[in-house]
């Protein structure tokens, strides 16, 4: 059976738990014919354990990567060459982090140091991860990241909001600079999912409740598959001239005012 990612080689960051959007992306990518390599933070052993639950667990290599660590970024290209070969067709950025004092209704008191960490790990890293891998993307490709709609100020989300706004702008500038190499850069704007990242946001249920009240389509907090499907679609050849775009996988909430 043929899949929409047949023959593609894809690096996927952000597999931490089975609830990770990246885990479902990895699962769907394998089902659709891709060869994948995972990056892991904070410990490869955690990601290796979860990777055993993928459809083809024996085909998956895991590389340690803290996106705020320049040494990790510098050695990434060589490790990918070693494990996956000399060509990469896709990169999934599924990474977000903000310190506790940058979340949960503390917006006016958050120190810049915490804001800087959120920006570094959640936004700048889209650029640094991609440029670390550019020498391997010799035949064009697709970079896909995950955002949470940064057009609005949400309850509790605090400095992750400006970090996501920076991620969205970074994606557009990457699209501008990488289009000449036939590399697309797009984001999926997902509705709330009860992952580790979400659980670390104090008051996350309050944020998620917005979807119960306003989403045109019913929304399942425990189902990361729709977001994963969106990522896989953008990795495929079915969006050949789409770049700098943000596609909402949010049950349609972005489209309604009340
Ligand atoms: P998750 O906790 O499973 O994934 C977050 C990932 O970020 C983890 O794998 C973690 O290891 C990684 N990470 C954190 N700091 C890192 C660092 N310094 N270096 C490398 N990796 C690091 O949660 P998720 O919900 O699957 O999040 C994936 C992406 O989706 C994030 O960008 C998140 O902001 C975004 N997103 C999540 C939701 C949601 O409600 N869960 C909604 C929209 C967008």
pLDDT at site 207: 87
Fold annotation for 9-34+46-251: Rossmann fold (3.40.50)
For 82-104, the pLDDT digits (tens) are 999 999 999 999 999 999 999 99
Atom of ligand 1 nearest to the CA of 22: 26
Residue set of the binding site? 14, 20-21, 66-67, 95, 98, 164, 193-197
> Whole-angstrom Cα distance, residue 163 to residue 191?
17
> Whole-angstrom Cα distance, residue 148 to residue 238?
23
For 16-71, the pLDDT digits (tens) are 999 999 999 999 999 999 999 999 999 999 999 999 999 999 989 999 999 999 99
For 137-175, the pLDDT digits (tens) are 999 999 999 999 999 999 999 999 999 999 999 999 999
* CA–centroid distance, residue 251 to ligand 1 (Å): 20
Q: What is the DSSP code (8-state) at residue 252? A: T
Domain boundaries along the sequence of the chain: 9-34+46-251
CA distances in angstroms from 21 to 75, 140, 222, 252, listed in the order given: 25, 24, 10, 19
Does this model's pTM top 0.85? yes
Residues with catalytic function: 157, 164
Among 25, 93, 195, say which to mutate for ligand 1: greatest number of ligand atoms within 8 Å of CB. Answer: 195
Hey, CA dihedral for 41, 160, 196, 252, is it positive or negative?
negative
Site residues for ligand 1, CB cut-off 6 Å: 13-14, 16-17, 20-22, 41, 65-68, 94-97, 121, 146-148, 190, 192-193, 195-198
CB atoms within 10 A of CB 146: 28
pLDDT at site 258: 80
* CA–centroid distance, residue 96 to ligand 1 (Å): 4
């Amino acid at each position: 059976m043929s899949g929409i990612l047949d023959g593609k080689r894809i690096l996927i960051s952000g597999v931490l738990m089975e609830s990770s959007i990246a885990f479902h992306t990895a699962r769907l990518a394998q089902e659709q014919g891709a060869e994948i390599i995972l990056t892991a933070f904070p410990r490869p052993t955690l990601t290796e354990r979860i990777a055993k639950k993928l459809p083809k667990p024996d085909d998956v290599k895991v590389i340690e990567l803290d996106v705020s660590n320049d040494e990790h970024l510098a050695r990434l290209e060589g490790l990918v060459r070693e494990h996956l070969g000399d060509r990469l067709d896709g990169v999934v950025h599924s990474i977000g982090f903000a310190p506790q004092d940058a979340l949960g209704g503390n917006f006016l008191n958050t120190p810049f140091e915490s804001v800087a960490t959120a920006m570094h790990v959640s936004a700048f890293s889209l650029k640094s991860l991609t440029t670390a891998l550019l020498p391997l993307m010799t035949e064009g490709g697709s970079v896909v990241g995950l955002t949470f709609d940064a057009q609005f100020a949400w309850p509790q989300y605090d400095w992750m909001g400006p970090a996501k706004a920076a991620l969205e702008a970074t994606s557009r500038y990457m699209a501008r600079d990488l289009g000449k190499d036939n590399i697309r850069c797009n984001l999926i704007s997902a509705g709330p999912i009860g992952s580790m990242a979400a659980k670390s946001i104090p008051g996350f249920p309050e944020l998620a409740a917005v979807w119960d009240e306003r989403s045109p389509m019913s929304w399942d907090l425990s189902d990361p598959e729709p977001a994963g499907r969106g990522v896989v679609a953008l990795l495929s050849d079915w969006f050949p001239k789409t770049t700098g775009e943000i596609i909402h996988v949010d049950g349609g909430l972005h489209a309604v005012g009340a």
